[in-house]
């Protein structure tokens, strides 16, 4: 088996390769003067089981094109099987028609990846589980919950914990994490979103008084929802609030917003390559998912169970 890395998240790709004691495939993924993407693989991949690691985060379109061209290069080089490894699947929030004459872009991206020549897809904490059905090829959706729950136990085991979903749509995710934390109680933040990127907290469903709250979500983008939720929880009598989020998109002024918020800390995974501003932030901490993905890659290559990772 071989691991080919695009440019979106080289540190994670290297960490996965190190865990598996494999070198990254020697390849050049670069741009021409007019920003066209060019891929050249410098070693034989004929008959190999190749995993292409590329998060389609910012700049989403550039990283998506890199992924598609890497897949095409491998297919034309006679790779036996190509698995697209997307720690973060961009366009996942466009998984339905929110209004008339709007696209379902997540389905379009799934079609592009399949048409390019991918035989399998491996991702983590897809925004909606049904996105797996957008692909006409086998798709494995990993969960960051085991990594998060282990970290929560090591840092907050002495606290009176309560898991909180920042919206109604995330209740299943929050309940799954609460179950891993010895069936911790669950609360829900009821909010109203007036427009994209903005949210207004309405009320808290559940008694959070005296509890240390763990907010859990799949994506933090502008961080408005999390920061508003943290403020509402503290007003409701919470002892403190920490947030655990799978994908730290953190666009615009999100980092500054988190730093000035009521959050004790925001914990994100390294599914997306982080800029220096995030590394320097006092309230933002990274959890690595390299061992989780490395184990999944190994099991796919060995044709053994991936789901047993979460038993």
Q: Give me the CATH number covering residue 284.
A: 3.40.50.2020
Measured distance CA(196)–CA(21) in Å, rounded: 43
In the numeric block, the tokens 């840092």 are attached to 155
For the chain, the domain total comes to 2
Measured distance CA(69)–CA(65) in Å, rounded: 6
Clarify whether residues 131 and 179 are in a common domain: no
Q: Can you state the percent helix, strand and coil of the chain, rounding each to 5?
A: 35, 25, 35
pLDDT in tens, 85-138: 999 999 999 999 989 999 999 999 999 999 999 999 999 999 988 899 999 999
Q: What per-residue confidence (pLDDT) applies to 157? A: 85
Clarify whether residues 53 and 176 are in a common domain: no
Q: Is residue 31 part of a domain?
A: yes
| Lookup: tokens for 254 | 């999100």
Q: Is residue 279 part of a domain?
A: yes
| Of residues 127, 48, 47, 46, the one with CA closest to residue 86 | 127
Clarify whether residues 150 and 258 are in a common domain: yes
Residue finishing a domain among 104, 120, 142: 142
Q: What per-residue confidence (pLDDT) applies to 71? A: 97
Q: What per-residue confidence (pLDDT) applies to 311? A: 76
Q: What per-residue confidence (pLDDT) applies to 93? A: 92
Q: Is residue 299 part of a domain?
A: no
**Is 130 marked as a binding-site residue?**
no
Q: Is residue 113 part of a domain?
A: yes
Residue finishing a domain among 142, 160, 188: 142
Active site positions, annotated: 191
Spell out a b/e string for 123-151, using b for 16 or more CB atoms within 10 Å of the CB, else e: bbbbbeeebeebbeeebbebbbbbbbbeb
**Is 30 marked as a binding-site residue?**
no
**Is 31 marked as a binding-site residue?**
no
Clarify whether residues 174 and 277 are in a common domain: yes
Q: Is residue 77 part of a domain?
A: yes
Q: Is residue 246 part of a domain?
A: yes
Clarify whether residues 117 and 150 are in a common domain: no
Residue finishing a domain among 123, 142, 161: 142
Q: Is residue 274 part of a domain?
A: yes
Clarify whether residues 132 and 157 are in a common domain: no
**Is 173 marked as a binding-site residue?**
no
Measured distance CA(213)–CA(142) in Å, rounded: 24
Q: What per-residue confidence (pLDDT) applies to 129? A: 86
Q: What per-residue confidence (pLDDT) applies to 97? A: 92
Clarify whether residues 10 and 89 are in a common domain: yes
**Is 299 marked as a binding-site residue?**
no
**Is 193 marked as a binding-site residue?**
yes
Q: Note the pTM of the prediction, 2 decimals.
A: 0.92
Measured distance CA(299)–CA(279) in Å, rounded: 32
Instruction: Please answer whether residues 288 and 270 qualify as being in contact, where contact means their C-beta atoms are separated by less than 8 angstroms.
Output: yes
Clarify whether residues 124 and 153 are in a common domain: no
Clarify whether residues 34 and 112 are in a common domain: yes
Residue 110 makes CB contacts below 8 A (sequence gap 6+) with 121, 131, 134, 135
Q: Is residue 307 part of a domain?
A: no
Clarify whether residues 96 and 167 are in a common domain: no
Segments of the chain with pLDDT less than 70:
192-202
Which stretches of 23-169 are assigned E, i.e. beta strand?
A: 27-31, 37-41, 49-53, 81-86, 120-124, 139-142, 161-165
Domain that holds residue 255: 145-288
């Amino acid at each position: 088996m071989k691991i080919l890395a695009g440019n979106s998240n080289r540190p994670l790709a290297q960490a996965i390769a190190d865990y598996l004691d494999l070198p990254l495939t020697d390849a050049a993924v670069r741009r021409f003067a007019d920003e066209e993407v060019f891929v050249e693989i410098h070693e034989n991949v004929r008959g190999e089981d190749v995993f292409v690691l590329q998060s389609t985060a910012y700049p989403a379109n550039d990283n998506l094109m890199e992924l598609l061209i890497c897949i095409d290069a491998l297919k034309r080089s006679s790779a036996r099987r190509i698995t697209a490894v997307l720690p973060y699947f961009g366009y996942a929030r466009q998984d339905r028609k929110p209004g008339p004459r709007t696209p379902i872009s997540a389905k379009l991206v799934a079609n592009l990846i399949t048409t390019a020549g991918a035989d399998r897809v491996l991702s983590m904490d897809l925004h909606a589980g049904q996105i797996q059905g957008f692909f006409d090829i086998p798709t494995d959706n990993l969960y960051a919950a085991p990594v998060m729950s282990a970290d929560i136990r090591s840092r907050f085991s002495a606290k009176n914990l309560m898991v909180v979903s920042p919206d109604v749509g995330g209740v299943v995710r929050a309940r799954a994490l609460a179950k891993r934390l010895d069936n911790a109680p669950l609360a829900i933040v009821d909010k109203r979103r007036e427009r994209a990127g903005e949210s207004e907290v309405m009320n808290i469903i559940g008694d959070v008084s005296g509890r240390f709250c763990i907010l859990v979500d799949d994506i933090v983008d502008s961080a408005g929802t999390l920061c508003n939720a943290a403020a509402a929880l503290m007003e409701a009598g919470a002892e403190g609030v920490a947030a655990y989020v799978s994908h730290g998109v953190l666009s615009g002024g999100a980092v500054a917003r988190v730093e000035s918020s009521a959050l004790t800390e925001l914990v994100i995974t390294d599914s997306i390559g982080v800029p220096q501003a995030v590394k320097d932030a006092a309230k933002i901490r990274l959890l690595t998912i390299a061992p989780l993905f490395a184990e999944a890659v190994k099991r796919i290559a060995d044709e053994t169970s991936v789901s047993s990772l979460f038993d």
